Structure 1
Protein backbone atom coordinates (compact mmCIF):
# COMPACT_ATOMS: atom_id res chain seq x y z
CA UNK A 1 0.00 0.00 0.00
CA UNK A 2 1.20 3.50 -0.84
CA UNK A 3 0.61 6.65 1.20
CA UNK A 4 -0.87 9.18 -1.25
CA UNK A 5 -1.53 12.71 0.03
CA UNK A 6 -2.70 14.17 -3.29
CA UNK A 7 -3.74 13.01 -6.72
CA UNK A 8 -4.84 15.49 -9.36
CA UNK A 9 -4.55 16.65 -12.97
CA UNK A 10 -2.72 19.86 -13.77
CA UNK A 11 0.06 21.07 -16.02
CA UNK A 12 3.69 20.24 -15.43
CA UNK A 13 5.16 23.31 -13.80
CA UNK A 14 8.78 22.32 -14.39
CA UNK A 15 11.08 20.24 -16.55
CA UNK A 16 11.02 19.10 -20.15
CA UNK A 17 7.23 18.72 -20.20
CA UNK A 18 6.54 22.10 -18.62
CA UNK A 19 3.13 23.36 -19.70
CA UNK A 20 1.82 19.92 -20.67
CA UNK A 21 -1.02 18.12 -18.90
CA UNK A 22 0.04 15.58 -16.30
CA UNK A 23 -1.45 13.38 -13.61
CA UNK A 24 0.25 13.99 -10.28
CA UNK A 25 0.54 11.36 -7.57
CA UNK A 26 2.04 12.93 -4.44
CA UNK A 27 3.35 10.58 -1.77
CA UNK A 28 3.78 11.32 1.92
CA UNK A 29 7.15 11.66 3.60
CA UNK A 30 10.65 12.91 2.89
CA UNK A 31 14.11 12.28 4.28
CA UNK A 32 15.29 15.88 3.76
CA UNK A 33 14.34 19.25 5.25
CA UNK A 34 15.34 21.80 2.62
CA UNK A 35 15.34 25.46 3.62
CA UNK A 36 13.06 26.33 0.69
CA UNK A 37 10.75 23.28 0.76
CA UNK A 38 7.34 24.15 -0.68
CA UNK A 39 5.64 20.85 0.18
CA UNK A 40 6.68 20.57 3.83
CA UNK A 41 3.06 19.85 4.75
CA UNK A 42 3.29 16.54 2.87
CA UNK A 43 6.23 15.47 5.04
CA UNK A 44 4.54 15.91 8.43
CA UNK A 45 4.09 12.72 10.42
CA UNK A 46 0.40 13.43 10.99
CA UNK A 47 -0.41 14.36 7.39
CA UNK A 48 -3.65 12.91 6.04
CA UNK A 49 -3.12 10.32 3.33
CA UNK A 50 -5.02 7.74 1.33
CA UNK A 51 -3.73 4.19 1.22
CA UNK A 52 -3.66 2.98 -2.39
CA UNK A 53 -2.48 -0.22 -4.03
CA UNK A 54 -0.51 -0.15 -7.27
CA UNK A 55 -3.70 -1.26 -8.99
CA UNK A 56 -5.62 1.63 -7.43
CA UNK A 57 -3.04 4.12 -8.66
CA UNK A 58 -3.02 2.66 -12.16
CA UNK A 59 -6.83 2.64 -12.31
CA UNK A 60 -6.94 6.31 -11.31
CA UNK A 61 -4.31 7.22 -13.90
CA UNK A 62 -6.17 5.41 -16.69
CA UNK A 63 -9.45 7.03 -15.64
CA UNK A 64 -7.95 10.50 -16.23
CA UNK A 65 -6.98 9.71 -19.86
CA UNK A 66 -3.80 11.78 -19.36
CA UNK A 67 -0.56 10.10 -20.50
CA UNK A 68 2.08 12.14 -18.61
CA UNK A 69 2.43 10.85 -15.04
CA UNK A 70 4.43 12.63 -12.35
CA UNK A 71 5.27 10.72 -9.17
CA UNK A 72 6.30 13.26 -6.56
CA UNK A 73 6.37 13.99 -2.86
CA UNK A 74 7.95 14.37 -0.45
CA UNK A 75 10.32 11.76 -1.80
CA UNK A 76 8.47 9.08 -3.80
CA UNK A 77 11.39 6.62 -3.82
CA UNK A 78 11.11 6.25 -0.03
CA UNK A 79 7.75 4.48 -0.39
CA UNK A 80 7.89 0.80 0.50
CA UNK A 81 7.57 -1.41 -2.58
CA UNK A 82 7.94 1.59 -4.89
CA UNK A 83 9.89 -0.65 -7.27
CA UNK A 84 6.78 -2.79 -7.71
CA UNK A 85 4.75 0.27 -8.65
CA UNK A 86 7.35 1.49 -11.14
CA UNK A 87 7.58 -1.91 -12.81
CA UNK A 88 3.81 -2.20 -12.87
CA UNK A 89 3.36 1.19 -14.54
CA UNK A 90 6.18 0.50 -16.99
CA UNK A 91 4.11 -2.30 -18.55
CA UNK A 92 1.79 0.30 -20.08
CA UNK A 93 3.86 1.77 -22.91
CA UNK A 94 1.28 4.50 -23.50
CA UNK A 95 2.19 6.16 -20.21
CA UNK A 96 5.14 8.53 -19.79
CA UNK A 97 6.11 8.20 -16.14
CA UNK A 98 8.35 10.79 -14.49
CA UNK A 99 9.76 10.53 -10.96
CA UNK A 100 10.64 13.74 -9.14
CA UNK A 101 13.41 12.72 -6.74
CA UNK A 102 15.48 14.83 -4.38
CA UNK A 103 18.98 13.58 -5.19
CA UNK A 104 19.59 11.77 -1.91
CA UNK A 105 18.31 8.33 -2.98
CA UNK A 106 20.58 5.96 -4.90
CA UNK A 107 19.08 5.56 -8.38
CA UNK A 108 21.11 2.51 -9.42
CA UNK A 109 18.45 -0.18 -8.96
CA UNK A 110 15.68 2.01 -10.37
CA UNK A 111 17.73 2.75 -13.48
CA UNK A 112 17.83 -0.98 -14.23
CA UNK A 113 14.14 -1.24 -15.09
CA UNK A 114 14.50 -2.66 -18.58
CA UNK A 115 11.21 -1.89 -20.27
CA UNK A 116 9.85 1.66 -20.53
CA UNK A 117 11.97 2.90 -17.63
CA UNK A 118 10.49 5.92 -15.82
CA UNK A 119 12.22 9.22 -16.43
CA UNK A 120 14.08 10.79 -13.54
CA UNK A 121 13.84 14.48 -12.76
CA UNK A 122 16.53 14.62 -10.09
CA UNK A 123 17.23 17.65 -7.95
CA UNK A 124 20.70 18.49 -6.82
CA UNK A 125 20.30 20.48 -3.60
CA UNK A 126 22.96 23.18 -3.38
CA UNK A 127 24.40 25.05 -0.40
CA UNK A 128 21.44 27.31 0.29
CA UNK A 129 19.21 24.25 0.80
CA UNK A 130 21.27 23.14 3.83
CA UNK A 131 21.01 19.61 2.43
CA UNK A 132 23.91 19.40 -0.02
CA UNK A 133 25.78 16.91 2.17
CA UNK A 134 22.93 14.42 1.58
CA UNK A 135 23.35 14.37 -2.22
CA UNK A 136 24.42 11.11 -3.91
CA UNK A 137 26.99 12.15 -6.51
CA UNK A 138 27.03 8.67 -8.06
CA UNK A 139 23.49 9.33 -9.31
CA UNK A 140 24.95 11.35 -12.18
CA UNK A 141 26.08 8.00 -13.65
CA UNK A 142 22.52 6.77 -14.06
CA UNK A 143 21.01 9.75 -15.85
CA UNK A 144 20.61 9.78 -19.62
CA UNK A 145 19.06 12.01 -22.25
CA UNK A 146 15.57 10.96 -21.17
CA UNK A 147 16.23 12.33 -17.70
CA UNK A 148 16.81 15.74 -16.15
CA UNK A 149 19.07 17.05 -13.41
CA UNK A 150 17.73 20.21 -11.80
CA UNK A 151 20.00 22.53 -9.83
CA UNK A 152 17.87 24.54 -7.40
CA UNK A 153 19.70 27.86 -7.00
CA UNK A 154 19.12 30.55 -4.41
CA UNK A 155 22.42 32.44 -4.48
CA UNK A 156 25.41 33.23 -6.69
CA UNK A 157 27.40 30.68 -4.66
CA UNK A 158 24.81 28.08 -5.68
CA UNK A 159 25.28 29.05 -9.33
CA UNK A 160 29.05 28.72 -9.07
CA UNK A 161 28.73 25.26 -7.54
CA UNK A 162 26.20 24.18 -10.16
CA UNK A 163 28.56 25.24 -12.95
CA UNK A 164 31.43 23.37 -11.30
CA UNK A 165 29.40 20.15 -11.16
CA UNK A 166 28.04 20.54 -14.69
CA UNK A 167 31.58 20.92 -16.04
CA UNK A 168 33.24 18.28 -13.85
CA UNK A 169 30.73 15.55 -14.67
CA UNK A 170 30.08 16.72 -18.26
CA UNK A 171 26.38 16.67 -17.51
CA UNK A 172 25.19 18.40 -20.67
CA UNK A 173 26.66 15.48 -22.64
CA UNK A 174 24.75 12.95 -20.53
CA UNK A 175 21.38 14.41 -19.64
CA UNK A 176 19.15 17.50 -19.66
CA UNK A 177 20.38 20.22 -17.30
CA UNK A 178 18.12 22.85 -15.73
CA UNK A 179 18.67 25.76 -13.39
CA UNK A 180 15.64 26.41 -11.20
CA UNK A 181 15.55 29.56 -9.02
CA UNK A 182 14.31 29.33 -5.46
CA UNK A 183 11.04 31.24 -5.64
CA UNK A 184 11.52 34.80 -4.37
CA UNK A 185 15.18 34.31 -3.37
CA UNK A 186 17.19 35.24 -6.45
CA UNK A 187 16.62 37.61 -9.34
CA UNK A 188 16.34 35.65 -12.56
CA UNK A 189 18.26 38.41 -14.33
CA UNK A 190 21.27 37.38 -12.24
CA UNK A 191 20.95 33.81 -13.44
CA UNK A 192 20.73 34.87 -17.08
CA UNK A 193 23.81 37.08 -16.72
CA UNK A 194 25.67 34.24 -15.04
CA UNK A 195 24.74 31.90 -17.90
CA UNK A 196 25.87 34.47 -20.47
CA UNK A 197 29.15 35.21 -18.71
CA UNK A 198 29.96 31.52 -18.35
CA UNK A 199 28.76 30.45 -21.81
CA UNK A 200 26.48 27.81 -20.35
CA UNK A 201 25.38 26.16 -23.56
CA UNK A 202 22.70 23.44 -23.37
CA UNK A 203 21.64 24.53 -19.88
CA UNK A 204 18.02 25.62 -19.47
CA UNK A 205 16.69 28.23 -17.07
CA UNK A 206 13.22 27.28 -15.91
CA UNK A 207 10.68 28.87 -13.63
CA UNK A 208 8.05 27.08 -11.57
CA UNK A 209 5.15 27.76 -13.90
CA UNK A 210 2.51 26.68 -11.40
CA UNK A 211 3.67 29.42 -9.02
CA UNK A 212 3.11 32.02 -11.72
CA UNK A 213 -0.37 30.80 -12.68
CA UNK A 214 -1.64 30.14 -9.14
CA UNK A 215 -0.75 31.38 -5.66
CA UNK A 216 2.67 29.95 -4.69
CA UNK A 217 1.18 28.06 -1.72
CA UNK A 218 -1.83 26.58 -3.52
CA UNK A 219 -2.17 22.80 -3.31
CA UNK A 220 -3.49 20.49 -6.00
CA UNK A 221 -1.96 22.36 -8.93
Structure 2
Protein backbone atom coordinates (compact mmCIF):
# COMPACT_ATOMS: atom_id res chain seq x y z
CA UNK A 1 0.00 0.00 0.00
CA UNK A 2 1.20 3.49 -0.88
CA UNK A 3 0.55 6.78 0.94
CA UNK A 4 -0.87 9.13 -1.70
CA UNK A 5 -1.53 12.74 -0.68
CA UNK A 6 -2.50 14.08 -4.12
CA UNK A 7 -3.38 12.86 -7.59
CA UNK A 8 -4.22 15.35 -10.30
CA UNK A 9 -3.76 16.25 -13.96
CA UNK A 10 -1.86 19.38 -14.98
CA UNK A 11 1.00 20.31 -17.25
CA UNK A 12 4.54 19.28 -16.51
CA UNK A 13 6.06 22.42 -15.02
CA UNK A 14 9.60 21.26 -15.69
CA UNK A 15 11.62 18.36 -17.06
CA UNK A 16 12.01 16.87 -20.52
CA UNK A 17 8.27 17.07 -21.19
CA UNK A 18 7.68 20.54 -19.74
CA UNK A 19 4.44 22.05 -21.00
CA UNK A 20 2.85 18.68 -21.77
CA UNK A 21 -0.07 17.23 -19.88
CA UNK A 22 0.83 14.85 -17.07
CA UNK A 23 -0.92 12.97 -14.29
CA UNK A 24 0.80 13.49 -10.96
CA UNK A 25 0.86 11.03 -8.08
CA UNK A 26 2.26 12.73 -4.96
CA UNK A 27 3.37 10.57 -2.06
CA UNK A 28 3.64 11.50 1.60
CA UNK A 29 6.79 12.21 3.60
CA UNK A 30 10.40 13.14 2.88
CA UNK A 31 13.74 12.57 4.56
CA UNK A 32 15.02 16.08 3.77
CA UNK A 33 14.03 19.56 4.93
CA UNK A 34 15.15 21.91 2.15
CA UNK A 35 15.07 25.63 2.91
CA UNK A 36 13.02 26.38 -0.21
CA UNK A 37 10.73 23.32 -0.18
CA UNK A 38 7.45 24.11 -1.95
CA UNK A 39 5.64 20.95 -0.83
CA UNK A 40 6.58 20.95 2.87
CA UNK A 41 2.94 20.27 3.75
CA UNK A 42 3.26 16.81 2.15
CA UNK A 43 6.19 16.00 4.43
CA UNK A 44 4.41 16.56 7.75
CA UNK A 45 3.98 13.49 9.96
CA UNK A 46 0.25 14.15 10.26
CA UNK A 47 -0.43 14.87 6.58
CA UNK A 48 -3.66 13.34 5.33
CA UNK A 49 -3.16 10.57 2.77
CA UNK A 50 -5.04 7.80 1.02
CA UNK A 51 -3.67 4.26 1.11
CA UNK A 52 -3.70 2.85 -2.41
CA UNK A 53 -2.55 -0.41 -3.98
CA UNK A 54 -0.44 -0.38 -7.12
CA UNK A 55 -3.46 -1.58 -9.07
CA UNK A 56 -5.56 1.32 -7.76
CA UNK A 57 -2.84 3.81 -8.68
CA UNK A 58 -2.64 2.45 -12.23
CA UNK A 59 -6.44 2.50 -12.50
CA UNK A 60 -6.49 6.16 -11.41
CA UNK A 61 -3.81 6.99 -13.98
CA UNK A 62 -5.60 5.15 -16.79
CA UNK A 63 -8.86 6.90 -16.00
CA UNK A 64 -7.30 10.25 -16.96
CA UNK A 65 -6.32 9.19 -20.52
CA UNK A 66 -3.07 11.13 -19.96
CA UNK A 67 0.12 9.33 -21.03
CA UNK A 68 2.79 11.24 -19.06
CA UNK A 69 3.00 10.13 -15.42
CA UNK A 70 5.03 11.84 -12.69
CA UNK A 71 5.65 10.15 -9.34
CA UNK A 72 6.64 12.83 -6.87
CA UNK A 73 6.50 13.78 -3.22
CA UNK A 74 7.68 14.17 -0.63
CA UNK A 75 10.22 11.57 -1.64
CA UNK A 76 8.56 8.75 -3.62
CA UNK A 77 11.48 6.33 -3.24
CA UNK A 78 10.85 6.15 0.51
CA UNK A 79 7.51 4.42 -0.04
CA UNK A 80 7.42 0.76 0.96
CA UNK A 81 7.47 -1.49 -2.11
CA UNK A 82 8.09 1.44 -4.48
CA UNK A 83 10.22 -0.86 -6.65
CA UNK A 84 7.15 -3.04 -7.27
CA UNK A 85 5.04 -0.04 -8.28
CA UNK A 86 7.66 1.37 -10.65
CA UNK A 87 8.26 -2.06 -12.18
CA UNK A 88 4.50 -2.51 -12.61
CA UNK A 89 4.08 0.89 -14.28
CA UNK A 90 7.06 0.29 -16.56
CA UNK A 91 5.35 -2.69 -18.14
CA UNK A 92 2.76 -0.38 -19.71
CA UNK A 93 4.27 0.67 -23.04
CA UNK A 94 1.70 3.45 -23.51
CA UNK A 95 2.85 5.42 -20.47
CA UNK A 96 5.87 7.70 -20.09
CA UNK A 97 6.95 7.44 -16.45
CA UNK A 98 9.04 10.05 -14.64
CA UNK A 99 10.15 9.79 -11.01
CA UNK A 100 11.19 12.94 -9.16
CA UNK A 101 13.72 12.11 -6.45
CA UNK A 102 15.77 14.28 -4.12
CA UNK A 103 19.21 12.76 -4.65
CA UNK A 104 19.62 11.27 -1.18
CA UNK A 105 18.10 7.83 -1.90
CA UNK A 106 19.82 5.20 -4.02
CA UNK A 107 18.47 4.61 -7.53
CA UNK A 108 20.82 1.66 -8.13
CA UNK A 109 18.26 -1.14 -7.81
CA UNK A 110 15.98 0.39 -10.44
CA UNK A 111 18.52 -0.41 -13.15
CA UNK A 112 17.16 -3.95 -12.98
CA UNK A 113 13.82 -2.83 -14.38
CA UNK A 114 13.12 -3.56 -18.04
CA UNK A 115 12.01 -0.34 -19.76
CA UNK A 116 13.29 1.57 -16.71
CA UNK A 117 11.57 4.96 -16.36
CA UNK A 118 13.18 8.37 -16.39
CA UNK A 119 14.55 9.77 -13.14
CA UNK A 120 14.71 13.49 -12.47
CA UNK A 121 17.21 13.56 -9.63
CA UNK A 122 18.11 16.65 -7.64
CA UNK A 123 21.53 17.59 -6.41
CA UNK A 124 20.88 19.84 -3.42
CA UNK A 125 23.10 22.93 -3.40
CA UNK A 126 24.34 24.90 -0.35
CA UNK A 127 21.30 27.19 -0.04
CA UNK A 128 19.08 24.14 0.46
CA UNK A 129 20.97 23.29 3.71
CA UNK A 130 20.83 19.64 2.58
CA UNK A 131 23.92 19.15 0.44
CA UNK A 132 25.56 16.84 2.97
CA UNK A 133 22.69 14.38 2.43
CA UNK A 134 23.45 13.88 -1.27
CA UNK A 135 24.30 10.34 -2.35
CA UNK A 136 27.14 10.74 -4.83
CA UNK A 137 27.00 7.06 -5.75
CA UNK A 138 23.83 7.85 -7.69
CA UNK A 139 25.99 9.50 -10.36
CA UNK A 140 27.16 5.97 -11.25
CA UNK A 141 23.59 4.85 -11.95
CA UNK A 142 22.04 7.72 -13.90
CA UNK A 143 21.44 7.18 -17.61
CA UNK A 144 21.33 9.41 -20.68
CA UNK A 145 17.55 9.57 -20.50
CA UNK A 146 17.65 10.94 -16.93
CA UNK A 147 17.93 14.48 -15.60
CA UNK A 148 20.22 15.76 -12.87
CA UNK A 149 18.64 18.97 -11.64
CA UNK A 150 20.31 21.77 -9.70
CA UNK A 151 17.92 24.16 -7.95
CA UNK A 152 19.81 27.44 -7.66
CA UNK A 153 19.16 30.16 -5.10
CA UNK A 154 22.36 32.20 -5.16
CA UNK A 155 25.55 32.92 -7.07
CA UNK A 156 27.43 30.51 -4.78
CA UNK A 157 24.90 27.82 -5.74
CA UNK A 158 25.72 28.45 -9.39
CA UNK A 159 29.44 28.05 -8.71
CA UNK A 160 28.85 24.83 -6.78
CA UNK A 161 26.61 23.44 -9.53
CA UNK A 162 29.30 24.11 -12.12
CA UNK A 163 31.90 22.38 -9.94
CA UNK A 164 29.74 19.26 -9.55
CA UNK A 165 28.81 19.15 -13.25
CA UNK A 166 32.48 19.34 -14.23
CA UNK A 167 33.82 17.04 -11.50
CA UNK A 168 31.46 14.20 -12.36
CA UNK A 169 31.17 14.96 -16.09
CA UNK A 170 27.42 14.93 -15.78
CA UNK A 171 26.64 16.23 -19.25
CA UNK A 172 28.21 13.04 -20.63
CA UNK A 173 26.04 10.85 -18.38
CA UNK A 174 22.61 12.49 -18.40
CA UNK A 175 20.62 15.61 -19.13
CA UNK A 176 21.62 18.48 -16.82
CA UNK A 177 19.17 21.20 -15.81
CA UNK A 178 19.52 24.28 -13.63
CA UNK A 179 16.38 25.83 -12.20
CA UNK A 180 15.99 28.97 -10.07
CA UNK A 181 14.52 29.01 -6.59
CA UNK A 182 11.34 30.98 -7.24
CA UNK A 183 11.94 34.67 -6.56
CA UNK A 184 15.46 34.20 -5.13
CA UNK A 185 17.85 34.76 -8.03
CA UNK A 186 17.84 36.93 -11.15
CA UNK A 187 17.21 34.86 -14.24
CA UNK A 188 19.43 37.05 -16.39
CA UNK A 189 22.30 36.48 -13.94
CA UNK A 190 21.90 32.74 -14.46
CA UNK A 191 22.08 33.19 -18.22
CA UNK A 192 25.17 35.37 -17.95
CA UNK A 193 26.83 32.75 -15.74
CA UNK A 194 26.11 30.07 -18.31
CA UNK A 195 27.56 32.26 -21.05
CA UNK A 196 30.67 33.12 -19.02
CA UNK A 197 31.55 29.48 -18.39
CA UNK A 198 30.35 28.11 -21.75
CA UNK A 199 27.98 25.68 -20.05
CA UNK A 200 27.18 23.68 -23.17
CA UNK A 201 24.53 20.94 -22.89
CA UNK A 202 23.13 22.44 -19.68
CA UNK A 203 19.47 23.48 -19.80
CA UNK A 204 18.12 26.38 -17.79
CA UNK A 205 14.47 25.88 -16.94
CA UNK A 206 11.91 27.83 -14.95
CA UNK A 207 8.92 26.21 -13.24
CA UNK A 208 5.96 26.84 -15.55
CA UNK A 209 3.36 25.93 -12.94
CA UNK A 210 4.57 28.71 -10.65
CA UNK A 211 4.47 31.25 -13.47
CA UNK A 212 0.89 30.23 -14.28
CA UNK A 213 -0.62 29.67 -10.82
CA UNK A 214 1.88 31.21 -8.35
CA UNK A 215 4.15 29.64 -5.78
CA UNK A 216 1.53 28.55 -3.24
CA UNK A 217 -1.02 26.71 -5.39
CA UNK A 218 -1.61 23.01 -4.78
CA UNK A 219 -2.87 20.41 -7.22
CA UNK A 220 -1.40 22.14 -10.26
Under a length normalisation based on structure 2, what TM-score does the superposition of the two structures give? 0.99
Tell whether 2:71 aligns with 1:74.
no
Q: 1:179 Cα deviation (Å)?
A: 0.3
Whether 1:151 and 2:150 are equivalent positions in the alignment is yes
Q: Identify the residue that residue 45 of structure 1 maps to in structure 2.
A: 45
CA distance in 1, matches of 2:43, 2:145: 28
Aligned residues: 220
User: What displacement does 1:127 show?
Assistant: 0.3
Instruction: Please list the CA deviations of residues 119-147 of structure 1 after superposition, one character each: whole Å capped at 9, or x if unmatched.
Output: 10001000000000000011111111110
Match of 1:215 in 2: 214
Q: Does 1:111 align with 2:116?
A: no
For 1:47, what is the secondary structure of its paired residue?
A: coil
Q: Report what 1:61 is aligned to.
A: 61
CA distance in 2 between counterparts of 1:210 and 1:12 reads 8
Aligned to 2:95: 95
Equivalence for 1:20: 20
How far is the alpha carbon of 1:111 from its aligned partner?
A: 2.3
- Whole-angstrom CA distance in 1 between matches of 2:37 and 2:150: 14
CA distance in 1: counterparts of 2:29 and 2:19, whole angstroms: 26
Give deviations 1:130-176, integer Å, cap 9, x for gaps.
Answer: 00000001111111111000001111111111101111111111110
> SS of the counterpart of 1:89?
helix
**Which residue does the alignment assign to 2:197?**
198
- The runs of 4+ residues in structure 1 deviating greater than 3 Å are none
Question: Per the alignment, in what secondary structure is the counterpart of residue 62 of structure 2?
Answer: helix
**1:52, distance to aligned residue in structure 2 (A):** 0.4
2:162 matches 1:163? yes
Q: SS of the residue aligned with 1:104? A: coil
